[in-house]
Chain A
Amino acid sequence: MRAKGVNFHYGAFKALYDISLDFPANKVTALIGPSGCGKSTFLRSLNRINETQRGTRIDGEITLDGEDVLAMDVTSLRRRVGMVFQRPNPFPKSIFENVAYGVRVNGLASRSDLAGIVEKSLRRAALWEEVKDKLSESAHALSGGQQQRLCIARGLAVDPEVLLLDEPCSALDPIATAKIEDLLVGIKDQCTIVIVTHNMQQAARVADNTGFFLLGKLIEHDRTDVIFKNPSKRETEDYITGRFG
């Protein structure tokens, strides 16, 4: 996936300035920066979730395998570019139905294949062992960490090329966070991952590449170890060492 010269407006407010960033396949890219810097806006532009808000405007170029994301059918785009949000948002359905939902809606599998896809997705999301005996129970009975992994399993079930995660661990305890981080590293050989996080140690732990945003601009983007050992921009250094502001 690739973004080139992306600008984004909320009405008269310009939220993103000329963002160009490549997301290499099968790598985890972390977007970091202070609140209001535009990182979530940028993430939400990648599968056009921002379009659901009135008065927004985007220009520039976003491509997926060379195809123009901004001109693509939105349903098809969101199947190829999945998203996991800050707060787990399972549907008020059973665990099985949550994972099966996207597959059914998109007509991606026969009834006989569905159980296999659900199991495979739950395994990829490192949740299968915990829920295999209660697939028909309500997803809302799961813990917060389990619900978030269920949402990831739901996203993975339709076999997306890119998975976007917006602060997926901010509502979770350290153990649940560690499980999500482990599974992100485990699934990146199957899809490209972009994660927005306020937790810089999380970016350092899971991301291959990291981009630092400030005031709607991408200040610096490099390999994660370079960003955290020897960033080239003063603003990045100040932010990651806690001297910002």
Chain B
Amino acid sequence: MRRFEEEFRGLNNALLDMGGMVAQSVHRSVLALVERNAEYAYEVRRDEVRIDECDIRIDAMASTLIALEQPVASDMRLVIAAIKISTDLERMGDLAVNIATRALSLMDHPELHPSIGLAEIAGLVESMVLRSLDAFVRRDAQVAQAVLTSDHGVDALRAGIQRDVVELMRRDPTAIERALDHLIAARSLERIGDHARNIAEGVIYLVQGVDVRHQPAGMMQ
């Protein structure tokens, strides 16, 4: 393999490493929240620094490739996608820290009754994260397309949670602080789903060279 091919492969692998780290942080933040596991929450906070370092490293690799290789065609699309995807991954890492922080706050208090169901939205968001990364690994635009569709489900679940939280706060003012922690966690999950969607859009650009951002759902097929 020639030197520039190794460099493009290095960029690809750095993105995969970062994606794996972020997927793990999202998973652990969900476990911290749903299973009230403090150890996972601390691990998420600890790993944030490594994720930030990955983001900086990928940007440096991408700028070096642009300066030295003047990439075109699929190489250029990989560099552009890498810069965008690493930014999305870094934000997902930050949001996982937000969720972990809410989880730690909730652990200091008794559980809500009736409970606010975060497991379903967490499961769907995690699935979006993993499928968007899988689409990148396999350069599979169809898998990426399916991630875009899942985003609507996440939005609907988050709206349902918001209604439940408002109703709970109305009935039991002593639960307001805990209910807000749930709402913030749900909002963070929804935003992680948005970033997974961005990654899927990046994969479609990488594979097909078409930009599907900001299009009505019916136009994306």
Q: In the assembled complex, how far is the CB of residue B173 from the closest CB belonging to chain A, in whole angstroms?
A: 57
Please state if A243 and B5 are interface contacts (CB–CB under 8 Å). yes
Asked whether A231 lies within 8 Å of B73 as measured between CB atoms, the reply is yes
B6 CB, min distance to chain A CBs, angstroms: 13
B174 located at the interface, meaning its Cβ lies under 8 Å from any Cβ of chain A in the complex:
no
Closest to B5 in A: A243
B67 nearest CB across to chain A (Å): 13
Knowing A229-B209, A242-B4, A243-B5, say if A237 contacts B70 (CB, 8 Å): no
- Per the bound structure, the CA–CA distance linking A95 and B71 in Å amounts to 41
Contact B72 A240, beta carbon cutoff 8 Å: yes
Please, how many residues of chain A have a CB less than 8 angstroms from a CB on the other chain?
13
Number of B interface residues, CB 8 Å? 13
Residues on the B chain within 8 Å of A243, using CB: 5
Q: Is residue A219 within 8 Å, beta carbon to beta carbon, of the partner chain?
A: no
A230 touches B70 (CB 8 A): no
Is there contact, CB below 8 Å, between B209 and A230? yes
> Which stretch of B37-45, B74-82, B91-99, B158-166 is in the interface?
B74-82
Of the candidates A201, A229, A231, A236, which one forms a contact with B70 in the assembled complex, judged by CB atoms under 8 Å apart?
A201
Alpha-carbon gap, A231 to B73, bound state (A):
7
Q: Would B73 and A240 count as touching, CB distance under 8 A?
A: yes
- Specify which of A229, A231, A241 lies most central, judged by the most chain B CB atoms within 10 Å of its CB: A241
Question: Is A109 at the interface (CB under 8 A from chain B)?
Answer: no
Distance to closest chain B CB from A236 (angstroms): 8
Min CB distance A181 to B, Å, is 16
Contact across chains for A237 and B4 when beta carbons are under 8 A apart: no
Q: A229-B209, A230-B208 are in contact. List 8 more A-B contacts (CB 8 A).
A: A204-B72, A228-B72, A229-B72, A230-B73, A237-B73, A240-B73, A242-B2, A242-B4
B-binding residues in A (CB < 8 A): 200-201, 204, 228-231, 236-237, 240-243
* 9 A-B residue pairs with CB within 8 Å: A200-B72, A204-B72, A228-B73, A229-B72, A229-B73, A241-B73, A241-B74, A241-B75, A243-B5
